[in-house]
Chain A
Amino acid sequence: MEQKNALQLRPSAEARFADELAALKAADQGRRPPGWALSARAVRSFILGDAKLSVRRKFYGDDALVERALVALMSEQGLMLVGEPGTAKSMLSELLAAAISGSSMLVVQGSTGVTEDHVRYGWNYALLIAEGPTPRALVPSPVMEAMRLGRVVRIEELTRCPPEIQDVLISVLSEKMMTVPELGESASVYAAPGFSVIGTANLRDRGVHEMSSALKRRFNFETVLPLTDPALEIELIRQEVGKRLGQADISVNFPDEVTDLLVTTFQDLRRGQTKDNVPLSKPSAVMSTAEAVNIAHAAALEAAFLGTGDVGGAHIGRQLHGVIVKDNVDDVKKVRAYVDHIVKERARRSKVWSDFLGAVKAMKDEG
């Protein structure tokens, strides 16, 4: 099933950052925890950057969180990343897995449709009928693979899995083994050193299953918060968008003022307060950095293919609409109030803001 990188829409983290991982490995002096590809400090450098080895920073925000996460993975505990959507939980788990195990490919994508086959094992039914239950007929789950190989398995959106599936994880995490009764009384898979579980979850979303306290106990929890530093968010957006456009060989002129507008709007609405402490009503839509990147990306594509290649406030304005109405109609009113009171004021002093205002107003009139 291995695909060549060029053909993948989004290569895995270990493929994208192969050079950096190699550089870190070569320079790594630290003691490696059993089963790890790198020392804990090298993993930290991989995620938070190391200027000497020209390793880029990939996770912005709380450095201490990354350190706590590493310590959790070194211990017997699993790691549970919680927080609102779009706060880079999945990205962080992918980076951790790539650096610790050298592979981020062992992943269970949580949903209500997940069955025991996805977390324990299934069978190749043709072989099962032909040979009966043999090791050859057994199809291991990513969890079982991770146990065998001593790697990190990622379980995305764990709280979307049905409770019985979550329960399976309790014994896996506490006993670090999985029995296969079909292969005989003593047939079990034991976890090799380096095995660990990283879960991600959104505890507040609708339609999730509450985690049992038995399962909670086996995880260390880390809350990933949205970025609060505008400078950081601007940098992140610029990097991400640059990377995406670079992959598609597109070049546009994306002025700083426009990124600034995007981040200011997002931070204002996310906090429910402007920089000058004017209170706003907070829309319920997710105003994450990931959404901002999507808007910036879409705005750049529009400028490149339908415009002159110069990204302006109007492009952002047209894309913002999509994010806001995604969730509910009330939000539209809240954003309208923001536009009418705050944006209008800013539009008087800046061309970018006034283009933005024009575009948002035009969308409004249509809607």
Chain B
Amino acid sequence: MNALDPAATALRLFDAERGLYFFPIRHHSPACALHLRGALRAIRPAAVLIEGPVDFEPLIGEMLAPGVVPPVAMVALPDNAEKGRGGTTYYPICRHSPEFVAIQQATELGATVRFIDLPSRHAAMLSDRRDRPDQPLLPMRETMFDRGAYVEAMCARTGFRDGLGLWDGLFEARARGTDWRGFFAGVGAYCAALRAASDPDELRTDGTLVREAMMRACIQEAIAARAGPIVIVTGGFHTPALIDAALETSRPAGAAARSNAWLVRYDFRALDRLNGYGAGLPLPGFYERVWERLTGADDDAKSSLTEEILVGFRAHLIEHEPALAFAFPTLRAMIETATRLAELRGLSEPGRTELFDALQSSAIKEEIEVGAHPLLAAFRTFLQGDRLGDLPPGSRLPPLVERARVEARSLGLSLEDAVPKTRELDIYRKPRHGQTSRFLHAMRLVAAPFAERVKGPDRVHGFRADMLMETWTYSWSPAVEAALIERAADGETVRDAAATILIRRLADLETEGQCNNAEAAFNLLAIAFDAGIGSAAEALVAAVSVAVGADTHLLRLANALVIGQALDSRARGMQSDAAISAFAALLPALLDRLARRIAELLPDLAAVNADNAGEAVASLAALTEAMADPDPPFPTQPLRDAVQHLMSAQLDPQLNGAVIAVAAVIGLIDEAEAGRRLSAALAGAFARPGEAIRTLSGVMALAPQLFVNDSSVITAIDNLFGAVDDPGFLALLPQLRMAFAELSPQETDRVAAIVAAAHGAGDHDLALLRQAPSTHVLADHLALSERLRNQWREDGLAAWLEPAP
């Protein structure tokens, strides 16, 4: 007999003589779960074998512990050894999973429960059936139900629109009823046909055949140890390969491997995302309601499932998305439509498809473009559900998760619900706040969804002085837990895991060819500092030191100096803290090296031309920022020498302005001298006003006060404008605006007053100017006047331009 003959398979599912009962299921199918429960009660098996990774067997007991609320997932973390085989293995379970129901029922009946699939991290289980490498690994993947020649042909014949509709119509609609034999015969025949239509080569390469060899071996073992009937629950796709084939006598190689397996809380949203990759039926929220209905004690409930769902959806919309909510008569029409559609399609009651159809037909009064409409999307989200699973306190979890929870609680963070909370931390003055801040920074690295810093010392807000407080928002959600589980292999405490991650990022810099990027390395160092990871300090500082030596990029080095200097000053503020003292000890030597490196590179600025001047000025600005510290933690003399040297060099005009500004700020020259040099530079460029303005913008970027405070400089620039004609001035205007953008409004007023006074205008004239139209309009009008004037001259009307006598 052909083992893949669908009809034959269906007939041979239940063999009382051999005492073997095969149950082909689809994951997360309430109909399969319910019929399976009925069957187990009738058969009263001695052993129940389930298609689950054998290394997850220890989790069976945990799953049944009081206080466990599905959805939960069995997960296995990648072993440190299996490099490149990334991705955590997930085996999600919800209340209506046939596997879960079988485990519950079998335990109730006193049967042994065994998992019979290969270990979760076996090579055959990791074979790349994923469409993208960042997808989670799923031992239960069953895309064959959704696509393929057989499914398409069946849809065409039966009028169902897709594989899911087909499954619903053929099987979920038959959930009520007691004929489990008939039901599974149908499922068995359908799955056997799917199997017969699949590509044997693919089954070999994707590991299916090895897995099935394992299952057969496990069945054989169970037969050998037989104490009564044996029930085998597997994905329907595998059943034909198990039922008639000769049983294997030994397990495949590698079947004894163990792994780090854990039971974790899960949520419907994550579950539905997995289902997007073919892991069973989607919309867990919907099918759970179905399951509740099917198993509910109150059989003659006041409302039907259709009513319950649609009424609930309307209430949900009114509360959360009032713009989409529909009127009560529409609700009535929807219920009627769903019921009639079910009748027309020969179903006993409306299913998933009928609900969507009813919504589309009754509530959407406009054209729907390519099947997408916000209301349909909202309904999908609603049926997806938002249930969070739970585990009882004290459940076995990867140490990292428990440690993170304990530490968070000990720091007074609330983990009771997923509502985001805000926390203000006085990081310098209160040691406990400092600790909390470091924990939150470390969590940012390990499980980013947990917390976010809204405000705190950084380059934008200022590192020192006035920024004493940090503000955070945080919330504990399954996403946090999932992130922690994925990081569980990185360390047992949050700090250890964070250190591992930092070192890895440092290594990433190297692989990306960024090992000479001093700024990036310093940023990592700053993160380690914030998170208080003293253990990583040495490795990081060593790497940073290498980067500093190799980097030839002045801007990155100058930025690194700013970051390093801020770290140093903060470290001195928190000297008493053990986690920080490691940094405090290492920083000075590093900064010394960095400052000398910058001094080495500064003379190269002489070669910078106009194209790169912007970046050079930015480097000098960063340098000025670092050197403005009255007691800088690095040697300034080499830097001062280098700037002195630059002052006598022939520089790009913009850079020249910037160098004069640096020199003034670090006290190499006084402000009067700076003013003189600047006036000279401006005056020397009178034939090339563009250059003069670039000089000015170089100053403005670093030290606008030099310009504002020195009326001789203002006069120099004013004289320059006097020498420019109007079109020339208009051409300069954009650059000029950029240069002056650095000034504060008060400074602008001050400059304006000086210029006005020089031209004999009083305050009154200035006040008039304040009501002037916008500069654009003014410029347009002036240009127009000029054109008119020229026109009149050409037309021989020059006399009109003379003031009337």
Task: Tell whether, in the assembled complex, residue A67 and residue B336 are in contact, meaning their CB atoms are under 8 Å apart.
Answer: no
The one of A44, A68, A76 that contacts B357, using a Cβ cutoff of 8 Å? A68
C-beta contact mask, A220-255 vs B, less than 8 Å → 1, else 0?
A: 111101000000000000000000000000000000
A217 to B333, CA, bound (A): 11
A359 CB-CB contact with B under 8 Å: no
A167 to B344, CA, bound (A): 32
The one of A44, A72, A204, A213 that contacts B361, using a Cβ cutoff of 8 Å? A72
Least CB distance, B356 to chain A, in whole angstroms: 9
**Chain A residues, Cβ within 8 Å of B366:** 82, 203, 221
Task: Tell whether, in the assembled complex, residue B370 and residue A75 are in contact, meaning their CB atoms are under 8 Å apart.
Answer: no
Task: Tell whether, in the assembled complex, residue A70 and residue B361 are in contact, meaning their CB atoms are under 8 Å apart.
Answer: no
**Chain A residues, Cβ within 8 Å of B161:** 62-64
Task: Tell whether, in the assembled complex, residue A40 and residue B344 are in contact, meaning their CB atoms are under 8 Å apart.
Answer: yes
**Chain A residues, Cβ within 8 Å of B341:** 67-68, 71
**Chain B residues, Cβ within 8 Å of A58:** none
**Chain B residues, Cβ within 8 Å of A213:** 365
The one of B159, B336, B337 that contacts A68, using a Cβ cutoff of 8 Å? B337
Task: Tell whether, in the assembled complex, residue A75 and residue B360 are in contact, meaning their CB atoms are under 8 Å apart.
Answer: no
On whether A203 and B337 interact (CB within 8 A), knowing A72-B361, A220-B362, the answer reads no
Q: Which residues 24-46 in A have Cβ within 8 Å of B in the complex?
A: 40-41, 44
B453 CB-CB contact with A under 8 Å: no
A217 to B334, CA, bound (A): 12
Task: Tell whether, in the assembled complex, residue B344 and residue A222 are in contact, meaning their CB atoms are under 8 Å apart.
Answer: no
A219 to B363, CA, bound (A): 10
Least CB distance, A231 to chain B, in whole angstroms: 11
Q: Look across to chain A and name the residue whose beta carbon is closest to the beta carbon of B346.
A: A41
Task: Tell whether, in the assembled complex, residue B353 and residue A64 are in contact, meaning their CB atoms are under 8 Å apart.
Answer: yes
A77 CB-CB contact with B under 8 Å: yes
A83 to B366, CA, bound (A): 10
Chain B interface residue number, banded: 20 to 34
Q: Which residues 338-395 in B have Cβ within 8 Å of A in the complex?
A: 340-341, 344-345, 353, 357, 360-362, 364-370
A75 to B370, CA, bound (A): 26
A303 to B478, CA, bound (A): 69
Q: Look across to chain A and name the residue whose beta carbon is closest to the beta carbon of B329.
A: A217
The one of A67, A204, A221 that contacts B364, using a Cβ cutoff of 8 Å? A221
**Chain A residues, Cβ within 8 Å of B330:** 217
Task: Tell whether, in the assembled complex, residue A48 and residue B159 are in contact, meaning their CB atoms are under 8 Å apart.
Answer: yes
**Chain A residues, Cβ within 8 Å of B364:** 221
| Residue among A44, A48, A68, A71 with the highest chain B CB neighbour number at 10 A | A71
**Chain A residues, Cβ within 8 Å of B159:** 48, 63
On whether A74 and B365 interact (CB within 8 A), knowing A48-B159, A68-B357, the answer reads no
Task: Tell whether, in the assembled complex, residue B344 and residue A71 are in contact, meaning their CB atoms are under 8 Å apart.
Answer: yes
Task: Tell whether, in the assembled complex, residue B367 and residue A74 are in contact, meaning their CB atoms are under 8 Å apart.
Answer: no
Task: Tell whether, in the assembled complex, residue B337 and residue A221 are in contact, meaning their CB atoms are under 8 Å apart.
Answer: no
On whether A70 and B370 interact (CB within 8 A), knowing A75-B336, A75-B337, A217-B365, the answer reads no
A83 to B329, CA, bound (A): 25
Least CB distance, A68 to chain B, in whole angstroms: 4
A216 CB-CB contact with B under 8 Å: yes
Least CB distance, A35 to chain B, in whole angstroms: 16
Q: Look across to chain A and name the residue whose beta carbon is closest to the beta carbon of B159.
A: A63
Q: Interface size on A (CB < 8 Å)? A: 29
A71 to B340, CA, bound (A): 6
Q: Which residues 153-210 in B have Cβ within 8 Å of A in the complex?
A: 159, 161
The one of B327, B329, B361, B370 that contacts A71, using a Cβ cutoff of 8 Å? B361
How many A-B residue pairs lie within 8 Å, measured between CB atoms? 63
Task: Tell whether, in the assembled complex, residue A220 and residue B361 are in contact, meaning their CB atoms are under 8 Å apart.
Answer: yes
Task: Tell whether, in the assembled complex, residue A221 and residue B365 are in contact, meaning their CB atoms are under 8 Å apart.
Answer: yes
**Chain B residues, Cβ within 8 Å of A221:** 361, 364-367
**Chain A residues, Cβ within 8 Å of B367:** 82-83, 203-204, 221, 223
Q: Look across to chain B and name the residue whose beta carbon is closest to the beta carbon of A72.
A: B361
The one of A67, A72, A75, A76 that contacts B345, using a Cβ cutoff of 8 Å? A67
**Chain B residues, Cβ within 8 Å of A70:** 344
**Chain A residues, Cβ within 8 Å of B353:** 64
Task: Tell whether, in the assembled complex, residue B337 and residue A219 are in contact, meaning their CB atoms are under 8 Å apart.
Answer: no
Least CB distance, B46 to chain A, in whole angstroms: 47
A275 to B327, CA, bound (A): 43
Q: Look across to chain A and name the residue whose beta carbon is closest to the beta carbon of B368.
A: A223
C-beta contact mask, B7-27 vs A, less than 8 Å → 1, else 0?
A: 000000000000000000000
Task: Tell whether, in the assembled complex, residue B365 and residue A68 are in contact, meaning their CB atoms are under 8 Å apart.
Answer: no
Q: Look across to chain A and name the residue whose beta carbon is closest to the beta carbon of B155.
A: A63
Task: Tell whether, in the assembled complex, residue A41 and residue B337 are in contact, meaning their CB atoms are under 8 Å apart.
Answer: no
Q: Look across to chain A and name the residue whose beta carbon is closest to the beta carbon of B337.
A: A71
On whether A64 and B365 interact (CB within 8 A), knowing A48-B159, A71-B340, the answer reads no
The one of A67, A75, A204, A216 that contacts B333, using a Cβ cutoff of 8 Å? A75
A225 to B361, CA, bound (A): 15
Q: Look across to chain B and name the residue whose beta carbon is closest to the beta carbon of A71.
A: B340
Task: Tell whether, in the assembled complex, residue A68 and residue B361 are in contact, meaning their CB atoms are under 8 Å apart.
Answer: yes
Task: Tell whether, in the assembled complex, residue B360 and residue A68 are in contact, meaning their CB atoms are under 8 Å apart.
Answer: yes
Least CB distance, B504 to chain A, in whole angstroms: 38
Q: Look across to chain A and name the residue whose beta carbon is closest to the beta carbon of B330.
A: A217
Task: Tell whether, in the assembled complex, residue B361 and residue A222 are in contact, meaning their CB atoms are under 8 Å apart.
Answer: yes
Task: Tell whether, in the assembled complex, residue B357 and residue A64 are in contact, meaning their CB atoms are under 8 Å apart.
Answer: yes
The one of B337, B340, B360, B370 that contacts A225, using a Cβ cutoff of 8 Å? B370
Least CB distance, B339 to chain A, in whole angstroms: 9
**Chain A residues, Cβ within 8 Å of B345:** 67
Least CB distance, B583 to chain A, in whole angstroms: 53
A70 to B345, CA, bound (A): 11
The one of A41, A82, A203, A225 that contacts B344, using a Cβ cutoff of 8 Å? A41
Least CB distance, B311 to chain A, in whole angstroms: 19
**Chain B residues, Cβ within 8 Å of A48:** 159
Q: Look across to chain B and name the residue whose beta carbon is closest to the beta carbon of A75.
A: B336
A82 to B159, CA, bound (A): 23
Q: Look across to chain B and name the residue whose beta carbon is closest to the beta carbon of A219.
A: B365
A350 to B365, CA, bound (A): 46
A200 to B161, CA, bound (A): 24
C-beta contact mask, A52-75 vs B, less than 8 Å → 1, else 0?
A: 000000000011100110111011
Residues on A lying within 8 angstroms of B by beta carbon are 40-41, 44, 48, 62-64, 67-68, 70-72, 74-77, 82-83, 203-204, 213, 216-217, 219-223, 225
Pairs A–B under 8 Å by Cβ, sample size 7: A48-B159, A63-B159, A64-B353, A67-B344, A82-B366, A217-B330, A225-B370
Given A71-B361, A75-B333, 15 extra CB contacts under 8 A: A63-B159, A63-B161, A64-B161, A67-B341, A67-B345, A68-B341, A72-B361, A74-B340, A213-B365, A217-B327, A217-B330, A217-B365, A220-B361, A221-B365, A223-B368
Smallest CB-CB A-B distances: 6 pairs:
A216-B365, A68-B361, A71-B340, A223-B368, A220-B361, A82-B367
